[in-house]
């Protein structure tokens, strides 16, 4: 444990060393030697890859300087360059916090239209360096009071729960756990063998797997979540704290069920929103919301957003008004805009757009 004054001294020395590197920081130069030594941003090296199923891969990451141990169930944002562009996606950590080699694992399923997930699953070899956020999220088990959890997971929704199960196993005491896991086929269960082994070793870990696509269409409905099914697998579900992660449809069904049972506070959900907004190529105009100023106006889809902002009484920074100087760059929070120069659409949340050459294509939210 370092005392405050020693920490103070250390940070003063770090500041002094940074002055040698101005306008950069010493960390930028350290990163040349080893990307994991940087302190201005957190990075992680891929030390191992392991294929869980045909389209899901576990990446073992060694986080660099500045990483703080996660809590089971938390997620990280992972940044990776693909085709020259930096993308970030959120993944649950699937390893236990107690893991002693300082590494974490994320398990990524290649989504059909997921350019980033496909890249992570197929094209990121060991040795690659990814950027990493700190661990975030409150989808975690309470530390103080013991709980009797019911886990409901589907597909790659298993990942945060896996971290909890592994954490229990490493600490040697699995409490009374009921786990209901959905997967399309028996050969498609991420962590299938490990779950089976856990169930065999720990009598109090009660695992039920349901394969939703095994026996054709007719049977499929019966194998998805329903009230009767829950009653059958876990009769005391009302008395348990439920932690669920999976596709939107499953989570919606659970929410309805728990709400109708008058018990919504015992249901804890982890959801990942689809990162892409609906692209509306023929949309012309819409409602433009300027979040910082709290204004909202209608726009006709031909007027550039700088003009729209000015007509609404705002005065965002601007320069050339023709798309060359980037003085009016602003963050697109949601919605879709059309570049008036070439008709190209941008609909990625958090994209930087030039207000003076973009028009609204549908409803738009801007950080202006």
Task: List contacts with another protein (CB under 8 A).
Answer: 16, 19-24, 28-29, 32, 40-41, 79, 81-87, 131, 319-320, 322, 324-327, 329, 341-342, 351-352
Least distance between another protein and beta carbon 357 (Å): 10
Q: Which is nearer to another protein, 84 or 216 (CB)?
A: 84
Q: Which is nearer to another protein, 232 or 341 (CB)?
A: 341
Q: Which is nearer to another protein, 107 or 358 (CB)?
A: 358
Q: Which is nearer to another protein, 82 or 268 (CB)?
A: 82
Least distance between another protein and beta carbon 78 (Å): 13
Q: What does each C-alpha distance from 69 to 100, 133, 167, 230, 253 come to in angstroms? A: 11, 12, 13, 34, 33
DSSP state of 275: S
Least distance between another protein and beta carbon 50 (Å): 25
Least distance between another protein and beta carbon 85 (Å): 6
Least distance between another protein and beta carbon 332 (Å): 12
Distance CA 242, CA 266 (A): 6
Distance CA 359, CA 217 (A): 45
Least distance between another protein and beta carbon 360 (Å): 21
Least distance between another protein and beta carbon 52 (Å): 27
Q: Which is nearer to another protein, 40 or 171 (CB)?
A: 40
SS3 letters across 31-81: HHHCHHHCCCCCEEEEEEEEEEECCEEEEEEEECCCCCCCCCCCEEEEEEE
Distance CA 35, CA 238 (A): 49
Q: What does each C-alpha distance from 103 to 45, 60, 67, 123, 186 come to in angstroms? A: 9, 7, 10, 20, 29
Least distance between another protein and beta carbon 341 (Å): 7
- Cα torsion angle, 133, 138, 140, 141, sign: positive
Distance CA 63, CA 70 (A): 11
DSSP state of 184: S
Beta strand 205-211 with 329-339 is unpaired
Q: Which is nearer to another protein, 119 or 166 (CB)?
A: 119
The separation between CA 160 and the C-alpha centre of its own chain, rounded to angstroms, equals 11
Least distance between another protein and beta carbon 330 (Å): 10
Q: Which is nearer to another protein, 229 or 327 (CB)?
A: 327
Q: Which is nearer to another protein, 116 or 180 (CB)?
A: 116
Q: Which is nearer to another protein, 163 or 354 (CB)?
A: 354
Q: Residue 308 corresponds to which tokens in the numbers above? A: 């729209």
CA triplet 268, 79, 53: central angle to 5 degrees? 65
The separation between CA 281 and the C-alpha centre of its own chain, rounded to angstroms, equals 27
Alpha-helix residue ranges (DSSP H) falling in the chain:
4-21, 26-33, 115-122, 158-171, 192-201, 216-223, 227-233, 248-260, 305-311
Distance CA 76, CA 67 (A): 11
């Amino acid at each position: 444990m370092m005392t405050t004054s020693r920490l103070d001294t250390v940070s003063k020395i770090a500041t002094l060393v940074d002055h040698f590197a101005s306008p950069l920081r010493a960390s930028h130069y350290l990163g040349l030697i080893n990307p994991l030594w940087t302190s201005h941003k957190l990075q992680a090296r891929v030390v191992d890859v392991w294929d869980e199923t045909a389209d899901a891969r576990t990446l073992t990451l060694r986080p660099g300087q500045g990483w703080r141990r996660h809590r089971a169930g938390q997620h990280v944002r992972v940044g990776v360059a693909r085709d020259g562009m930096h993308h970030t996606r959120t993944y649950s950590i699937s390893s236990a916090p107690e893991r002693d080699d300082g590494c974490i694992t994320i398990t990524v399923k290649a989504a059909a239209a997921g350019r980033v997930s496909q890249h992570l699953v197929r094209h990121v070899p060991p040795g690659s360096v990814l950027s990493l956020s700190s661990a975030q999220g409150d989808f975690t088990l309470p530390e103080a009071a013991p709980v009797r959890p019911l886990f409901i997971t589907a597909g790659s929704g298993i990942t945060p729960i896996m971290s909890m199960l592994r954490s229990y196993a490493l600490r040697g005491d699995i409490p009374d756990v009921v786990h209901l896991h959905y997967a399309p086929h028996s050969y498609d269960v991420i962590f299938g063998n490990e779950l089976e082994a856990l169930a065999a070793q720990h009598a109090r870990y009660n695992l039920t797997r349901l394969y939703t696509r095994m026996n054709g269409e007719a049977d499929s409905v019966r194998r998805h979540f329903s009230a009767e099914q829950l009653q059958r697998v876990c009769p005391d579900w009302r008395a348990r704290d439920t932690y669920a992660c999976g596709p939107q449809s499953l989570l919606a069904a659970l929410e309805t069920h728990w709400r109708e049972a008058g018990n919504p506070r015992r249901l804890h959900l982890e959801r990942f929103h689809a990162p892409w907004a609906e692209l509306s190529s023929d949309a012309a105009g819409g409602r433009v919301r300027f979040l910082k100023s709290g204004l909202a106006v209608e726009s006709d889809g031909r007027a550039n957003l700088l003009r729209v902002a000015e007509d609404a009484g705002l005065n965002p920074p601007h320069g050339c008004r023709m798309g060359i100087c980037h003085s009016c760059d602003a963050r697109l929070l949601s919605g879709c805009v059309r570049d008036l120069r070439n008709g190209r659409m941008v609909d990625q949340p958090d994209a930087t757009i030039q207000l003076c050459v973009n028009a609204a294509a549908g409803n738009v939210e801007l950080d202006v």
